[in-house]
Amino acid sequence: MKSFFTSLALALVAAPLAVADSSHRCAAAAPVAPVVDFEPRIEALLSKLTLDEKIDLFGGDETGFNSRGVARLGIPPIRMSDGPVGVRVGASTAFPVSLNMAATWDIGLIQRFGVALGEETRAKGKDAILGPCVGIGRFPIGGRNFEAFGEDSFLSARMAVSVIQGVQSRRVIATVKHFACNDQEWERTNNDVLIDERTLHETHLVPFEAAVKEGGVWMVMSAYNSVNGQHMSENARLLTGVLKHEWGFQGLVVSDWVSVYSAVGAANNGLDIEMPQPMWFGEKLREAVRAGTVPVSVIDDKVRRHLRVRFLAGLFENPAPPPDESVVRSEAHRTLAREMAVESLVLLKNDGILPLAKTAVKSVAVVGPNAAVARAGGGGSSGISPWVSVSPFAGLRAALGNGAAIATAPGVELDNFKAVPLPSSFLYTPDGKSEGLRGEYFSTPDFAGKPAFVRVDKGVDFDFKGGGPGGGIGGSNYSIRWTGTFTPTETRAYDFAIGSDDGSWLYLDDKLIADNGGSHGEIYVPARAELEAGHSYRIRIDYQQGGGDASMRLGWKDPKDVTKVPTIAEAVAIARTAEIAVLCVGYTAAQESEGVDLNDIELIRGQDQLVQEVLAANPNTIVVVYGGVPVSVKPWLARARAVVAALYPGQEGGTALASLLLGERNFSGKLPFSYIQDKAESPGMLHYRDPDRKVPYAEGVFVGYKYYDAHHVEPLFPFGFGLSYTSFAYSNLVAKANGAKSFEVSVTVTNRGKVAGDEIVQLYVEPPQSRLPRPLRELKGFARVGLVPGESKTVTIPLSERSFSYYDPTQPGWVSEPGTYVIQAAASSRDLRLATTVTLP
């Protein structure tokens, strides 16, 4: 029997299943991990460790991002960095987000990204990157949808395996997250997902299973939420039962930050590292071992996993070298980021205006709030500070040179204003005697009981660093309420902002004007109020801290800030005088971020009016939409000449957009999610924000296009959709048996147009009548193929027995029923080109 280490090393170069080879544009990620069995060295070290030293390995250190080592025995720490689309340490390459990666459908390109991510991680002096994120996008307005690979489990699995293979080929620890069923940010630490075994295995666990079995991933991060009543950091069924026993995972399970709730439960049920510091995996775990409630065998299993991963990553012999910015700021990585952006942008509509003739264009207006700012990615822990960035305006200006006049204006503002602390001179305690606000500090998380202490705070501008506010209140699960009055000196509109980690709420005269609730990192929420000079308004700020870092700030827009407020009229005037208008709208990292979901799919902050007026002013308008969720475009779609879904294309997005609009490159991206126009069309909205915080996955295995097919819902643009400047014809679909229940499916694709382009052939399998309800069709393979005009190529896509199977919880296991299956070659989930059948015995 192969050792686990041999299997993992081989997994680094194993070909992903059921995806055609796209190596025509990919350099393989050559393995560097040696095929060697480290078990004797692990056992030797284990025998020398004291109980205290063993437990020290299981928690984070003072940095908040390192898993501790044992210096006495030369066991190094594991130095981690946030991901998954770049290294969140200083300035790094901001690659397109995971949703863009999925839109490329290019496993070779995404493996190259994994290699580059591994190289940058090491160049930043880190050993582990906290990615990829593989949660299934069942919830249409999820704040972190951009951070994962879309709504389909098969596509997500293929992307995840490619990233992991690339990262770990550089002996950097990849971390697949968040295990499992983490798809909404509202109350993410308190939600309990109710899900059946079939839905778990057939949909939400698929990319995790592939990450373990095919990608050989070395670390798995548990999610904040509970599943079927158990916190994921101590979920025995999933961590020990499925992950470690059924799948044979022998790497590390790390908690998401501040998501551990017990020592005994977490230790016995599969958690190996508590981050950021050991609140439970310290003295409380030592006491549990001494009391016999956590067996020493459980402790030793965790130690073996810690040592195993360190050996695989080469941390003993080859620790990460000193930081090397030349790797991060290399032209090779910038070129890769640009190529990923080019392949990921999706052309949703084109009435013939595109591509623009570069030499014929004389004037262009690049307008909108996302025109002169590079919207590289979303916010939160995956937000990257790019070392260089190119906005749409900058990209088009560089591409057009001096041949065309180009102008820009935002029209509306999407970025939050820069808040400064609210001066105490405007604030008075409720009794009017003291400048500032009355602060009531509760040792409970819900303002219950008598305050632990009360004091007057001159302002609200606190960073507690996870240590608590003092007065006997610990670092987690407390609340604070500030009350008093705010008296303005001028009659005008006042812009306030509250920023907090975790939840906060701002009230004026008992009216909620800013809702920053939930468990999240530091997020700012603005609020505007029309106020009268000299009138005293009751002010109240509520703050609830869950765990980890803690901050609370009340600010306002500095009255001395004379930053010009953008107007729609200015953008419309520029658009009216230009030959072509490129209107860039959508969302930003301020709206799509960890810890907060979107409210809707409607354009916000006056953008709908902006779109309508620019379309009226310039009939040659191309609309470019940014964001990781479907955006409402139907009200004005008919009037736009062309529409592009840019998603979040990374630091090189502006250059990529320009090359595509001007026809230097061809659009080839295809949607990794269904572009619906009403959030209510999605079953993921059911029970959202229910007070009991239960999240039943009532749709079962019918997620995304599978649900829309079953319920006859017509998405505006279906899963897998994307236009090109050329057209492709499909022919000669053949399924050749390659065993009793496996096949090689081939199809010929021909470029019928006048320009070169890439087509993404999608293979869907339709089952016969089954014992259990099944989707009408499911994606089970795909191939990206590049063709010059008139050229034909035949692509071959393998289908294994798993391609025809469903998960039967009564077995339990995967079942392939006998019968005739329809194999369809398609350009999207609704654009089915050719069909053939195969019969399983």
Which residues participate in catalysis according to the annotation? 256
Residue indicated by tokens 């369809």: 824
The CA distance from 453 to 450, in Å, is: 8
CA atoms within 13 A on the CB side of 597: 21
The CA distance from 58 to 174, in Å, is: 18
CB atoms within 10 A of CB 57: 24
The DSSP code for 190 is T
Query: Which helix (H) or strand (E) element contains residue 825?
Result: strand 819-826
Beta-bridge partners for 514? 506
The CA distance from 374 to 583, in Å, is: 14
The CA distance from 489 to 493, in Å, is: 12
CB atoms within 10 A of CB 389: 18
Is 733:764 a contact under the CB 8 Å cutoff? no
Distances (CA, A) of 487 to 302, 476, 507, 514, 530: 58, 33, 14, 18, 12
SS (H, E, C) 708-740: HHHCCCCCCECCCCCECCCCEEEEEEEEEECCC
The CA distance from 24 to 669, in Å, is: 17
The pair of structure tokens assigned to 322 is 């000193």
Helix axes 107-123, 331-344, angle to 10 degrees: 140
Which residue in 669, 587, 595 sits closest to 628, CA to CA? 587
Contacts of 762 (CB under 8 A, 6+ apart): 670, 720, 779, 781, 782, 825, 826, 827, 828, 829
Residue indicated by tokens 């299943």: 17
Burial of 676: CB neighbours in 10 Å, binned 0-12, 13-18, 19+: buried
Burial of 555: CB neighbours in 10 Å, binned 0-12, 13-18, 19+: buried
Contacts of 245 (CB under 8 A, 6+ apart): none
Burial of 613: CB neighbours in 10 Å, binned 0-12, 13-18, 19+: middle
The CA distance from 116 to 332, in Å, is: 9
The pair of structure tokens assigned to 473 is 């209140």
Using the CB atoms, write b or e for 205-242: b if 16+ within 10 Å.
bbbbbbbbbbbbbbbbbbbbbbbeebbbbbbebbbbeb
Query: Which helix (H) or strand (E) element contains residue 40?
Result: helix 39-48
Amino acid at 334: R
Strand, coil or helix: what is 316? coil
